[in-house]
Chain A
Amino acid sequence: MTTLTKAPEAPVELSDSARAFQLEVREWLEANAPAELKGLRLPRYRTSGEVKRLVEGWTERLADAGFMCVAWPKEYGGRGLSGVEVALLNEEFHRAELPRMTRGMGEGMVGPAIIAHGTEEQKAYFLPRIIAGQDRYCQGFSEPNAGSDLASLRTRGVLDGDDIVVNGQKVWTSWFWDATMMFCLCRTDPSAPKHKGISYVLIPIQSDGKPNGIEFRPIKQMSGEGHFAETFITDARAPQFNIIGGLNNGWSTAMTTLANERGGGATTQHTAFQEELSRLVDDARRLGKLNDPRVREQLAWAHSNVEIMRYSGLLMLNALAAGRDPGPGGAASVTKIRWSEYERRLGEIALDILGPEALVTAGDDYQLAPWQQTFLQTRTHTIWGGTAEIQRNIIAERVLGLPKEPGA
């Protein structure tokens, strides 16, 4: 494969303890890495078959060695790693060509919300279950009529004895196929202003081995795949103990969920894009397109974008390592817009380079070739996790200080 960048060692000034941590991770990986996993490229969403078995085994080995929920504070079972240390951890996994497994949304979203807003009893109960992989979460936020305007959600939660009973409909539920729990926003006070009457509830998908009124129907996306589901919630029950942050206070709990520790992916995020672009260069060469000045310019444009992700990551990591504010360049919305719009454009360029090859799928049953998949999958990336438009609003209002939308 074409190697586009031979980058020097990342010029980051690290403390001795950070260097020691990096070395410790490197040594552990050298001693424990399963050879058959090395260099394995995981699909972005679901794994299956032999790959799934390998990945699950590796996940459990990492969990036993304490590599889950590493950014959580030590008292809650994490390692209390800083953004810089998480970045180093990611770098070491990347160097060893091994996937770094996590506990998904439980680790990245639910745990941080519980740590920030939960009671000590809730922390003691829920956090160890996430670390152990016992509770695996999917997200129940968006609704058919509450997308970007999430706070207008209508799923209802009603108190009933010691329980809360939830009814409604959610949509775009990812990771539903593996989930045992859903973290769900529901309206518990319809008379309150829209941000004030919402609760954040952890609902079991099953209760004592029986269905708990949560039904997933996979949504067939334009790629033919079904990575998301519609979720129908009918009299789903959870103990009131499972309400995080207090009744009717779910909006601020959810906002914590969306604002995560920065810096973890700073110096590795670009690597997958680098590999993806190298594959496109190889395809362009195979098709004899590298003499076309327009193609050369497009590929150089793409390389520039991936390099800028690398540079930005270094700037951010350096700032964090020195205890300085990374500035607007480190804002999560800036990063999201940059990578999602870049990759969407790359998908378009890739099909242009394929030319007539792009007109034909890889097989019957709408089996797509990799660039066709990229082209279609990347259309979702500027929508989920806050659309490109919502990210622009966030930058305008929170970074640039422009006035809020009237009525938002």
Chain B
Amino acid sequence: MSVGMTAEREELARSVGGFLAERTPMAEVRRLMADPTGHDPAVWRQMGKEFALQGIAVPEEYGGAGYGYAELAVVFEQMGKTLLPSPFFATVALALPALLASGDEAAIREYAPGLAAGESVGTLAWVEDDGAWRGGTATSATNSGATWTIEGHKAYVVDGSAADLILVIAETPEGRSLFAVSGDATGLDRQATPSFDQTRRLARIELHGTPARPVGEAGRGDEILAAALDRAAVLLAAEMVGGAQACLDMSVGYAKQREQFGRLIGSFQAIKHRCAEILVELEGARAAAYYGAWAADASPAELPMVASIAKATASEAFFRAAGENVQMHGGIGVTWEYDAHLYLKRAKTSSILLGDPSFHRQRLADLLEL
């Protein structure tokens, strides 16, 4: 298992990149932004059936392809380039890692194959109205015999409206635990919350006596959540690396064709130096994301620290690239019709999602026992 790119992973990047470019050009991204569903179910199924993308890091015995996070990171990077509106992040970076980390054989056998095949959509609901990424929970689960029900709410649930399976963190007498709630469960009220980044859907959900199935042993919720969120942070970092690369490519492309003062603007150091700085930051973020993906596969003890390093670094690199991309385009860069703002919004919201750079550096300081 090697760190970073290999010939095989490069081939994967090419084929996924080609598929996304063909099936979801920017016109399609914009159509889906306005669509109530927020994604194209046909593309979702095709990603699962033809490309087996959702199940890349899912073991073969559970219907996946049995590769690792290193391969998955390559896929997320390509997703980030295209801004594809899709429940891919919610299903593959949040729900599947939590499900697999639960070690609950029966639950994994029941849910993983459908998620991996693109037959269903999953998400993880752990944040509440206070917006704390790694905070407490006011939602509780109670049981009567083997039957559990949940009372409470969850906020900022990624693709919470589209999900067929919602994995919910709730308090129990044994401590925080993970539960599976079906998208059509009784007492489940889902409200789509209009999202600032229209390519990534959010929802607030209320649970009132909603039937739920325990996933993993009672009281292991925090441990499962931590394992899932570290993997999600690494994959989001990889997605942001792709976004940053797309922004740099746009900036450089424009600087090579736009003339002012009788010169290509790319010949001015004011433009050149900013492009160079973005590249340096981007390559640092790429190294952290790739190393983090390797650690998720092969060096789990390192993962919590690397995940925070990757999340913080990629957040800053992407936001810098997206902000400078708007600036370097001048007037056209601030229009609705031009795509630069879509990346700016994706960059800022991704930077906040799962904890901003400051949050992750404070966490890293804690992990380093400073």
Contact = CB atoms under 8 A, between A and B. Distances in A.
Which of B1, B4, B284 counts the most chain A CB atoms within 10 A? Answer: B4
B273 A392 contact: yes
Contact of B264 (A296, A301, A400, A403): A403
A7 B294 CA distance: 13
Interface of B: 1-7, 248, 252, 255-256, 263-264, 266-267, 269, 271-273, 275-277, 279-280, 283-284, 286-288, 290-291, 294, 298-299, 302, 305-306, 309, 312-313, 358, 361-362, 364-365, 368, 370
A392 B309 contact: no
A402 B271 contact: yes
A329 B287 contact: yes
Contact of A400 (B1, B3, B279, B290): B279
Interface string A315-341: 100110010100111000110011000
B267 A300 contact: no
B205 to A, nearest CB: 33
A56 interface: no
B141 to A, nearest CB: 35
Place the interface of chain A in its size category: 35 or more
- Binding site secondary structure of chain A: helix
Contacts of B313: 304, 308
Interface stretch (A8-16, A98-106, A199-207, A233-241): A8-16
B358 A297 contact: yes
B236 to A, nearest CB: 16
Contacts of B362: 293, 296-297, 300
A330 to B, nearest CB: 9
Which of A391, A397, A399, A402 counts the most chain B CB atoms within 10 A? Answer: A402
A406 B267 contact: yes
A178 interface: no
B275 A402 contact: yes
B256 A402 contact: yes
A402 B272 contact: yes
Given A393-B272, A400-B248, 20 more contacts: A12-B3, A284-B370, A290-B370, A300-B370, A303-B309, A303-B368, A304-B288, A304-B364, A315-B291, A338-B280, A393-B269, A395-B276, A395-B279, A396-B273, A396-B275, A396-B276, A400-B252, A402-B252, A402-B275, A404-B267
Contacts of A322: 2, 6-7
A305 B279 CA distance: 15
| 7 closest residue pairs by CB, A with B | A396-B272, A296-B365, A329-B283, A311-B291, A395-B276, A392-B276, A300-B361
Which of B6, B266, B279 counts the most chain A CB atoms within 10 A? Answer: B279
Nearest to B306: A307
Given A324-B5, A400-B275, A308 B287 contact: yes
Contacts of A393: 269, 272-273, 276
Contacts of B290: 311, 315
Given A300-B370, A315-B290, A402-B266, A308 B280 contact: no
A49 B4 CA distance: 45
A4 interface: yes
